[in-house]
Chain A
C-alpha cells in the first residue's frame, strides 16, 4: 500500500508537470529568434529522407543567420521526429502548433503522416509544407497543404512517356515499394504505358527493409521485359540492381528522383551504369546550387540528395513570409502566386492543388555519376 502511495504520487507529479508546462512555459519563445517548426522522419523506414531534409534546412538556416538573419532575427529550427508514423506525426504537429502558434510547419515525412496532419493544418489554417512527400494523395490533402517535391503521378507519367517515345520500349516490368507512395507511382506509369500501346509484363510490390529480392528478380526475368521501372527507395533500388546483375539479368533500368543519391553507387556499384530516370534534378545553372553542394559536402562529407535541395528551398520560400508575421491564409495565397521560383531544386510553380510543377530532367548514370541524358 505504501508503495502504491508513492506510485500515485509519481503519476500525479507527471500530470502536474504536463499541466504546469502548458500554463507557465507555453510562450517561452518570445526571444529575438524566428522559429521554423519542422517535423522530420528521423527514425523509421524513411529516416534517411528525413535526415537529408534536415541537413538541407540546416545549411539554409546557417546561411541566413550568417548574413544577419531576417530583419535582425536569427532563425532556429525546432525539429520533432515523425518516426515515419502518422500517430507520432500528429502528436508532433499538435505539439508544435501549441508551442509556437505557427503560421506554417514544414513536414518532411512520409505521405501517411502528411495526410494525417493535413486535416489539423486545414482546420487551424496553418500551411503544411512538405519537401519530401511524393504520394499522389497529397494532391487532394487540402487548401493549406503544399509541396515542392513533385507528385509521384507526374514523375511516373513522365518516365512512361520517355520509355515509349524516346527509348521505344514496349514491354516493361515494374517494381514498386509497398509504402504510402508506391501505388501512386505504378497507377500513373501503367496508365500512360498502356494508353501508348505498351505492356506491363509484371508488377511487383516490395516491402521496405527487405534485402533479398532474388525470387522477385527471377519472376520478372521470366516475363522477358525490355526494361524494368523501379519506383523504390534508393536502398532497395541499389540492392535490386546489384542482385539482378549477379543473376545475369541486365535490362534497361528506369526510375525516378528517389534514387538520385550517391547511395545508389555505393550499393549497386557499376551495375547502376545506364540507369535512366526522371528527376526534379536540382538546377546546376543556379550558382547557389554549386555553392550549396560545396557546403553540403564540407559539412556532411557526402553529395546532397534531392530531398536536401527541396528542404533548403523550403526554408528560403517560407522564412521571409514567417518573418513578416504573415498568417497561414496569407502564406497560402502568397504560395499560390509563386511562379517560376528559381530554387536550387529546380524552377518551381505551385498549381491549384498546392502541388509542385517543375520541369523534369531525363538523367542517366554514367561512370557512377548522374548526368543529363542527351
Chain B
C-alpha cells in the first residue's frame, strides 16, 4: 500500500500548492510561474532549520511560512505593478533566480548535491514516521488550506479579488487599491505554497533543487488550469487527475524500453485534449483564454 499512500500524499501536497496558486491565478486573474520557487523555499527553510539548528517541525513550519510570505511580498511589490504578460515574465525570472540560488549557494544549500537526512517531524513528542501518520498530517494541512481559501474567497477580500480579475480599471475606479490587494494575496499564496514544501522535505527526507524547477511551476499551473481556475474544487480535481494520470500510465503494459517516452507523449497528448475539450478546466469558472481574447 506504500505506493498508494505515496500517490495520495503527492495529491495532497499538490492540492495545497495549486490551491494557493488558484488564489492568485484563478481568483485574481494574475498568472504566476513562481510557485515552485515558493514551494522550494519552504522546503529549504524547513530542511536547513532542522539540519543546522535542530529546530522542531512546528517552528520550521511557522518560519518557512512567514519567510516565504515575506519573500512573496518583496517579489509582489515590484512585480504586481506591471501587468499580465510582463508579470508572468517577472515571476518566471524569480523562479529562475531561486533555482540558481538553490543550485549554486553550495555552502548553504549543498547545491546540486541536495540536503539528505532531514529528520521526520516531531509534533509535541509524537514522531510522524509511518505513512499513516504522514497521511493524517498532510490531510490536516490540506483541509486547513482549503478552508482558509474558502474563507478568503467568500470574504469581502475575495469579492475584491474577483473584481480585479474581471475588470481591474473598474475595481480601481470603485476606490480599491488593486495593487495592495494583489500584493496581499500574492504574499498569502506564497506562504501557503511553502506549507507543501515543508511537508515534502520532512516526508522525503532529502531535497535538491531539481524538485523545484520551472517545469514544476508549469505542472502546478497545469493543475490549476486543467482542474479549473477560479473554483475551490478545481485544484483538488486537477491534482487528483494530473498526479494519478501518469501513475496509471505505468500500468498500461508498454515495453520497458519505450515505456518512459510513450508515457510522456501520452501524458502530453491527454493534456492537449483536455485543453481543447474544456479550456475552463474540469470544474472551473474562469478561462484565461477568454481574458486574453478580450
- Taking Cβ atoms with an 8 Å cutoff, the residues of A that contact B are 3-4, 7, 11, 14-15, 17-19, 21-22, 42-43, 54, 77-81, 83-87, 90-92, 94-95, 97-99, 111-112, 115-116, 118-120, 124, 135-137, 140-141, 178-184, 205
Contacts and interface: CB of A to CB of B under 8 A. Distances in A.
A19 B251 CA distance: 13
Contacts, number: 123
Given A178-B111, A183-B112, A17 B106 contact: no
Nearest to A111: B113
B260 A43 contact: yes
Given A11-B237, A15-B244, A97-B3, A79 B256 contact: yes
Contact of B282 (A7, A15, A111): A7
Given A98-B2, A135-B113, A14 B241 contact: yes
A86 to B, nearest CB: 6
A84 B103 CA distance: 16
Interface in B248-284: 248, 250-251, 256-257, 259-261, 263-264, 278, 282-283
Contacts of A120: 2
Interface stretch (B15-23, B75-83, B201-209): B201-209
B61 interface: no
A235 B205 CA distance: 32
Contact of B240 (A3, A15, A92): A15
Interface in B1-33: 1-4, 6-7, 10
Contacts of A179: 112
B245 interface: yes
B210 interface: yes
Q: Is the interface of B mostly helix, strand, loop or mixed?
A: helix
A79 B4 contact: no
Given A115-B208, A205-B104, 6 more contacts: A11-B241, A81-B263, A86-B114, A86-B210, A95-B250, A183-B113
Given A78-B256, A98-B2, A112 B204 contact: no
B247 interface: yes
B116 interface: yes
B112 A180 contact: yes
A14 B11 CA distance: 13
A91 B8 CA distance: 11
Given A11-B241, A80-B250, A85 B260 contact: no
Given A43-B261, A91-B7, A183-B112, A84 B244 contact: no
Interface of B: 1-4, 6-7, 10, 103-104, 106, 110-114, 116, 204-206, 208, 210-211, 237, 240-241, 244-245, 247-248, 250-251, 256-257, 259-261, 263-264, 278, 282-283
B116 A141 contact: yes
Contact of A94 (B2, B106, B110, B248): B2
A97 B2 contact: yes
Contacts of A78: 256
A74 to B, nearest CB: 15
A90 B1 contact: no
A180 B250 contact: no
Given A90-B204, A95-B250, A98-B2, A77 B256 contact: yes
B44 to A, nearest CB: 14
Contacts of A54: 256-257
Nearest to A50: B260
Given A98-B3, A98-B4, A183-B111, A115 B206 contact: yes
Nearest to B243: A91
A124 B2 CA distance: 10
23 contacts: A14-B241, A18-B7, A19-B4, A21-B251, A43-B260, A43-B261, A77-B256, A84-B210, A86-B210, A86-B211, A87-B204, A90-B204, A91-B3, A91-B10, A94-B6, A95-B3, A97-B2, A98-B4, A99-B3, A112-B113, A112-B208, A118-B116, A119-B204
Contacts of A18: 4, 7, 244, 247-248
A84 B112 CA distance: 12
